[in-house]
Structure 1
Amino acid sequence: MFIILLLLGSIILLYLFGRKSHEYWAKRNVQTGKITPIFGDNIHLILGRESPSEMVQRIYNKVPDVRYIGVYQFLTPALFLRSPDIIKEVCVKDFDHFLNHKGFVADGVEELWSKNLFALKGQSWKNMRSVLSPSFTTFQKKSENIIEVEFKDAFTRYTNDVIASTAFGIQVDSLEDRNNEFYLMGREASDFSTFRRKCVFFAYQLIPTITKFFRVPLFGEKLRSFFINLVKETIKIREEQNIKRPDMLGLLIEARKGKHNVQTTDEVKDASFAAVEEHLAMDEAAQNLTDMDIASQVFVFFLGGFETVSTAMCFMAYELAVNPDIQKKLIEEIDQNKPQKGPLSYETLNNMNYLDMVVSESLRKWPINIATDRLVTKSYTIEPKLPGEKPVQLEKDIMIIIPSFAIHRDPQYYEDPEKFNPQRFSPENRKKIDPYTYIPFGVGPRNCIGSRFALLEMKAVFFSLLSSFEIVPVEKTMIPLKTSRTSLTLTSKNGFTMGLKKRN
């Protein structure tokens, strides 16, 4: 009986504490809509009733005609932005008040994660950004006319091999050697659908002090040791034998020696609409990079390329399969740009206008990063602009959420947003798009450093693929596509199975 009373009392106290915590935005005259005690806005995600993208869309739509909404990640308040003008203020104009991301892993708990560019804060982030900024045929053997392919598996293996080469300087062929250790470790690192990984992720949000005290790791020891030892051993061999390679690992090794050349974005001629630019003109900082610093940067570069770019390719392949008229037009442009001899040049690929339009539209409809965040680093006031608004004081450490998925599907910015329409990004239509309503790679100085790399990778894959094949729906293709409610990232509920039809 005592245990039952104790449990009941604990639940009541937690409920009352939760209600008090959820009064934060009401006291500041910020609308929130309906909030679930203790769970805040996360209850449907926790129960598997909605996917992360559906949660973002629901929050975005629950209080219309406002510039921002107060939300709660369990008991933690955050401000959800809905208006491009306020996104510009937070991410660019007043960036010095919002320098950092909110790290979901406590400092010192998971070094492989907490030392990477995304998680670093303040001057440490600026220094590392300045170091990293410059860096950036198997199916033909089959005889069938239409080859059924699980595109997520195929694209993940391709991106695995690209990152293995460009980040680590390692050559692997994951389409042929399907169980190579590098691929298996990458698949384990990027899998956030397991029960344990989900529990750890939500524990970081709900009880951060406890997870930090007990040093609850995000990754297993085998995975952590594999990447750390791989980097340390490679560095040792390269330094002992004076080996220099133009990959990310080589760049960081040279930076540690003080031989780092900063390249400005003006030197990169890039016609891609989705590419982001560097906003900070930073001086070279004296770097004291440890092997762990280097391992963390290379690991997160690998993780981003392994999972997010391959998923972006899958969504684009799906849209081409279900929109054959668009695919036909893209194939015509590819055929017109095939080199007569020699390899495809960077300039040719980068100047293919319709290919860029298709990629840009795919990233609008399916932005892999469905939302990004900023952390208030020094107090800030949002001044009123609309009728009924009052000044909102944002205290230090309050999180700001920028819902790119929902903004990209807002009909006031994109007519008929559910339709896949590359014409939105034609040269004559691009100038009509508010840049703060198109943010597949984030916005402002803390945008995605790998946008050009990702765009080049996507364009090269589809140029090669569509040179020989058409992508077609098969019996297993889910039409219309539904997003997964079991994954913490944006992906399809039933995978991406489609067919490759050989072209004449």
Structure 2
Amino acid sequence: MAAQATQLNNLPKHPLYRLMEHTVGTQSIITTTGQQWKFWRKVFDPGFSSTHLATLTPMVVERVEIFIKKLEEHVETGEAFQMLPLTKSLTMDVIGRVTMASDFNTQQQSHEIVDAFTVLPKYIPPFGFDPIRLFSPTRLWNARYYQKKLDRLIGEVVDQRFRERRAGKVGPSEKSLVHLALDTYEQMGGAVNTDVITDPVFKINAIHNIRGFFFAGHATTAASLCYLYYVLYKYPAVLHRLRQEHEEYLGIDPEDVGARVQKEPSILKRMPYTTAVIKESLRLFVGVGTVRNGVKGFNFLDPKTNIAYPTYRDGPFPILIRSFPIHRNPENFPDPERFDPERFLGERAASMTKDAYRPFEKGPRDCPGQELSMMEMRITLALTIRKFDIEMAYPEDAPKVMGDPAYHVMYSSAGPAANLPIDKPRERTGVMSHAIRTAARNGLNSSSVGKTSEWLVLLADKPGILERRVRIRPVHSENFVKLHESGFVSWAGPVFKEHVSEGIRPFIGSTMVVNAPSRKAVKETLEKDIFVTEGIWDWDNVQILPFQTILRQPAQKTGAVL
């Protein structure tokens, strides 16, 4: 039925959208309708084409590399922090370039435009019934002050870009939104014999659309990045498979990913599991929706009963379309509370209920920046998930909504509760040893050479990882069963601090006997296991000793797993 309102019929937006004028302005395509909306949507669409976005890949990679440096600073301090402010600074840096051709460098310094954008939402009208705040003179004065300040500052950027064009400093391929607007201004004959914009109507339209794209273009993507880190922490098997796909497509060395992506931007779109993970995260944690107005003569038709429901009677009915309940409806997505990226792969994706998946809404008024958002998420994952272990820091008694402590909270836009607290991020050790890196670059594979021998492997667990070990152990066990079946592992098992009859066993490490031609070959195989990549084993202090089995009892079938 949502498709009837937004796709088959593009019903007009409800007057409630006027509330957004306080943030994005009165002339933004977010709030306008009719010919004005159509005109400006057509002006800005080329700025979000796949061809143009591919040219922005180096810029996005550069901004994500700064984001990585900020994460590394938190690794060094070992202190907990909130993820959402970091992802907002990242996405503000990206959208600043896309909208205004500006390098705000928000991740490393303050900027007047960004500061005004950050403060303004504190003074927008309250969503609930709060007459004291609604009519507060202080709120009203501050709201007008920051709205005018943003208009002035963005107007100065528009004027500066116009002067740069008149001086011949802007190439014909430039498609930032401010230049797309100025292209239109020049085509309308507004740039004849002048170095200033003389049409005030055009200028305020350009300013408010830039405001709208900047606001919408950073907030939702920043929250979506947080939710990606959240689900990857919560589902280690998904994270493990995602890292394997990144190694397969982007190479074994995470340090090479930035250059690889810049050389071939389209490679990220060819990574099916990565796209599926992003889509599934957006399905569960979607913050978009739309409110439309009913019109005379249009009735909703219930596809199950064929009953028609009018949308206008003595006035239009408001029509609220929310993606969240649509995405959580088991008729659209079986087992909807389960995080299952594979529902977006192969035959399951092909059989998905038509029009049920709408994280960016659908129809003529869908999100024009959805491709940019997907691009930012793909690049950020590609450059970070094999570098860091990112763990959540929600307390055990944190409130939950539908089982999640990271439920949506409305700030200026929807985001995770408590800004997604992170507990002491760690750079991953054992991701790729110098020996493996050298062998990979020289085309060598030492594990395929020579006669096999037995090796005794002794591995201690790192301190404080018992809970994580238990949580990701099923993935580790599945891998070791395969290694045993292949003949690499003769026998293996966990080491405990002591034997216990109930409760969580006090793991302190693992031991095993394996078959390989060299110590190096042992390391090459074992360091791919999730207990190494996730920092469970103290891999830097692994002991790999030459060994020979002389006596051994037949294996006892205890039903235990590794």
TM-score normalised over the length of structure 2: 0.60
AA aligned opposite 2:26: S
Q: Which residue, out of 98, 113, 129, partners 1:166? A: 98
- SS of 1:402's equivalent? strand
- SS of 1:394's equivalent? coil
After superposition, the Cα gap between the structure-2 partners of 1:455 and 1:219, relative to the gap in structure 1 and judged at 3 Å, is farther
After superposition, the Cα gap between the structure-2 partners of 1:394 and 1:238, relative to the gap in structure 1 and judged at 3 Å, is same
Q: How does 1:243-322 map to 2 (within 5 A)?
A: 243-244=169-170, 245-258=174-187, 290-322=202-234
CA contact (8 A) 1:111 1:296 kept: no
CA contact (8 A) 1:441 1:447 kept: yes
Cα drift, residue 414 of structure 1: 1.4
After superposition, the Cα gap between the structure-2 partners of 1:489 and 1:110, relative to the gap in structure 1 and judged at 3 Å, is closer
Instruction: Give the equivalent residue in structure 1 for 2:337.
Output: 418
CA contact (8 A) 1:317 1:471 kept: yes
- SS of 1:436's equivalent? coil
Instruction: Give the equivalent residue in structure 1 for 2:493.
Output: none
- RMSD of the alignment, in Å? 3.4
CA contact (8 A) 2:22 2:147 kept: no
Paired with 1:230 and 1:357, the residues of 2 have a C-alpha distance of 40
Deviations for 1:341-372, whole angstroms, at most 9, x for unmatched residues?
Answer: 83413201121111100000001000121x32
AA aligned opposite 1:448: C
AA aligned opposite 1:349: L
- SS of 1:418's equivalent? coil
Cα drift, residue 158 of structure 1: 0.5
CA contact (8 A) 2:113 2:154 kept: no
- SS of 1:104's equivalent? helix
After superposition, the Cα gap between the structure-2 partners of 1:88 and 1:246, relative to the gap in structure 1 and judged at 3 Å, is closer
AA aligned opposite 2:291: D
Instruction: Give the equivalent residue in structure 1 for 2:352.
Output: 433
- Unpaired runs of at least 5, structure 1: 1-85, 261-286
Q: Which residue, out of 237, 241, 261, partners 2:160? A: 237
CA contact (8 A) 1:100 1:376 kept: no
Cα drift, residue 443 of structure 1: 1.4
1:470 aligns with 2:389: yes
Cα drift, residue 217 of structure 1: 6.1
CA contact (8 A) 2:388 2:428 kept: yes
CA contact (8 A) 2:22 2:143 kept: no
After superposition, the Cα gap between the structure-2 partners of 1:115 and 1:437, relative to the gap in structure 1 and judged at 3 Å, is same
Instruction: Give the equivalent residue in structure 2 for 1:71.
Output: none
After superposition, the Cα gap between the structure-2 partners of 1:217 and 1:105, relative to the gap in structure 1 and judged at 3 Å, is farther
Instruction: Give the equivalent residue in structure 2 for 1:455.
Output: 374
Paired with 1:113 and 1:398, the residues of 2 have a C-alpha distance of 25
Cα drift, residue 115 of structure 1: 0.8
Identity %: 19
Deviations for 1:178-235, whole angstroms, at most 9, x for unmatched residues?
Answer: x43333222223x4xx5x5353x4579x9xxx99xx9x96972332233212222222
- SS of 1:337's equivalent? helix
CA contact (8 A) 1:468 1:503 kept: yes
Instruction: Give the equivalent residue in structure 2 for 1:400.
Output: 319
1:358 aligns with 2:277: yes
Provide the aligned length of Structure 1 versus Structure 2: 376
- SS of 2:36's equivalent? helix
Cα drift, residue 111 of structure 1: 9.3
AA aligned opposite 1:89: Q
After superposition, the Cα gap between the structure-2 partners of 1:165 and 1:94, relative to the gap in structure 1 and judged at 3 Å, is closer
Instruction: Give the equivalent residue in structure 2 for 1:44.
Output: none
- SS of 1:100's equivalent? coil
Paired with 1:106 and 1:152, the residues of 2 have a C-alpha distance of 24
TM-score normalised over the length of structure 1: 0.67
1:187 aligns with 2:118: yes
Instruction: Give the equivalent residue in structure 2 for 1:444.
Output: 363
CA contact (8 A) 2:93 2:107 kept: no
After superposition, the Cα gap between the structure-2 partners of 1:106 and 1:377, relative to the gap in structure 1 and judged at 3 Å, is farther
Q: Which residue, out of 367, 372, 391, partners 2:290? A: 372
CA contact (8 A) 2:299 2:308 kept: no
- SS of 1:358's equivalent? helix
Paired with 1:471 and 1:241, the residues of 2 have a C-alpha distance of 43
CA contact (8 A) 2:286 2:324 kept: yes
AA aligned opposite 2:187: G
Deviations for 1:444-481, whole angstroms, at most 9, x for unmatched residues?
Answer: 11111111111111111111111311222346586842
Deviations for 1:153-177, whole angstroms, at most 9, x for unmatched residues?
Answer: 1101111111112111221222322
After superposition, the Cα gap between the structure-2 partners of 1:468 and 1:383, relative to the gap in structure 1 and judged at 3 Å, is closer
Paired with 2:142 and 2:34, the residues of 1 have a C-alpha distance of 25
Q: How does 1:128-147 map to 2 (within 5 A)?
A: 128-136=40-48, 137=65, 138=69, 139-140=71-72, 144=76
After superposition, the Cα gap between the structure-2 partners of 1:472 and 1:436, relative to the gap in structure 1 and judged at 3 Å, is same
Paired with 1:218 and 1:416, the residues of 2 have a C-alpha distance of 49
After superposition, the Cα gap between the structure-2 partners of 1:452 and 1:374, relative to the gap in structure 1 and judged at 3 Å, is same
- SS of 2:103's equivalent? coil
Deviations for 1:297-349, whole angstroms, at most 9, x for unmatched residues?
Answer: 11111101221110111111111111111111111112223265834132011
CA contact (8 A) 1:333 1:354 kept: yes
AA aligned opposite 1:399: P
Paired with 1:484 and 1:343, the residues of 2 have a C-alpha distance of 35
Q: How does 1:64-213 map to 2 (within 5 A)?
A: 86-95=1-10, 98-105=11-18, 112-136=24-48, 137=65, 138=69, 139-140=71-72, 144=76, 148-177=80-109, 179-189=110-120, 191=121, 194=122, 197-199=124-126, 201-202=127-128
Paired with 2:235 and 2:303, the residues of 1 have a C-alpha distance of 42
Cα drift, residue 407 of structure 1: 0.9
Q: How does 1:47-66 map to 2 (within 5 A)?
A: none
1:222 aligns with 2:145: yes
AA aligned opposite 1:250: H
Paired with 1:335 and 1:259, the residues of 2 have a C-alpha distance of 50
CA contact (8 A) 1:382 1:393 kept: yes
Cα drift, residue 103 of structure 1: 4.2
After superposition, the Cα gap between the structure-2 partners of 1:486 and 1:156, relative to the gap in structure 1 and judged at 3 Å, is closer
CA contact (8 A) 1:106 1:114 kept: no
After superposition, the Cα gap between the structure-2 partners of 1:303 and 1:384, relative to the gap in structure 1 and judged at 3 Å, is closer
CA contact (8 A) 1:476 1:498 kept: no
Instruction: Give the equivalent residue in structure 1 for 2:536.
Output: none
CA contact (8 A) 2:394 2:405 kept: no
CA contact (8 A) 1:149 1:498 kept: yes
Paired with 1:488 and 1:231, the residues of 2 have a C-alpha distance of 20
After superposition, the Cα gap between the structure-2 partners of 1:161 and 1:482, relative to the gap in structure 1 and judged at 3 Å, is closer
Paired with 1:183 and 1:324, the residues of 2 have a C-alpha distance of 36
Question: Which of the pair has more CA radius of gyration?
Answer: 2
AA aligned opposite 2:351: K
CA contact (8 A) 2:291 2:318 kept: yes
After superposition, the Cα gap between the structure-2 partners of 1:257 and 1:343, relative to the gap in structure 1 and judged at 3 Å, is farther
After superposition, the Cα gap between the structure-2 partners of 1:146 and 1:346, relative to the gap in structure 1 and judged at 3 Å, is farther
AA aligned opposite 1:394: Y
